[in-house]
Structure 1
């Protein structure tokens, strides 16, 4: 993939800022999601006179990757910025087995789990949700049950409806 190109790719591409472990994150994410790959990767130069870049030598300056068909970009940008729950990625799941699989792969911060939300080992927030969430949230009892859940339990929500 060339920077800024990609055929029929969407015009908007999420871009992720990692402190210094973008390569590890890309390899991990592409192992979790089907239809995924790492594309172009550019690295900070090995030799630089720029003092603020010396610690970044060999780290990712720019990378493009695909997760289940969605293009992303990434950078090792240093510690200036970190992920927050203000941004998350939704994974729509066909059934409980898929929810369980993604939850197991992505949830690494138990204190951040709530209502189908989890945080991975890189600090990125994910929502692992059933594709038919709307039909599982029709009545107050279902909505109330979801608010008490960490990982979504489809059978429990369906049983309340």
Structure 2
């Protein structure tokens, strides 16, 4: 079976970025490296970092979703990935390398599936930067 995994293009910071991400996610490690490519796993999912140069930049058109079961998990990923980055609305942030992440509660899909509750939940999270699970559940 063929593997499928993202390749993240960095401007000479692939190993530094891989080590940074591995320090944030459980069950993570750098699996191989050379001067051009670093392969790493984040919570068991394979990634590749490429030292490609300054030609390309990351954008929010490609983001990584981190579903969290607890507020503590949201706080952890929000704080760690957002360090030296940019916090945005509705659980989105750009990390210090420009990679976009969505830090969302795992229960959000269930809350949005309830036709009566969904509009109130959406109204609540549209006012949030970091998601607050209790506020969403009480909406």
Larger radius of gyration: 1
**20-29 vs 131-140, greater mean Cα deviation:** 131-140
Distance 1:99 1:82 in 2: 26
Distance 1:134 1:16 in 2: 28
2:98 is the counterpart of 1:123: yes
On the 8 A contact 2:29/2:40 being kept in 1, the answer is yes
Instruction: Identify which of 130, 136, 139 aligns with 1:151.
Output: 130
Output one character per residue of 1:101-152: Cα deviation in whole Å (capped at 9) or x when no partner. 1000011434x41101111011000000111111233321111111111100
Taking structure 2 as the reference length, the TM-score comes to 0.91
Residue aligned with 2:31, SS = strand
Instruction: Identify which of 37, 40, 64 aligns with 2:29.
Output: 37
Distance 2:81 2:111 in 1: 23
Distance 1:109 1:148 in 2: 20
2:36 is the counterpart of 1:72: no
Structure 2 residue aligned with 1:22: 14
Taking structure 1 as the reference length, the TM-score comes to 0.79
Distance 2:8 2:85 in 1: 19
Output one character per residue of 1:42-93: Cα deviation in whole Å (capped at 9) or x when no partner. 11xxxxxxxxxxxxxxxxx111100000000111111000100000000111
Distance 1:30 1:95 in 2: 20
Instruction: Output the aligned Cα RMSD.
Output: 1.4
Q: Which runs of 5+ in 1 are unaligned?
A: 1-7, 44-60
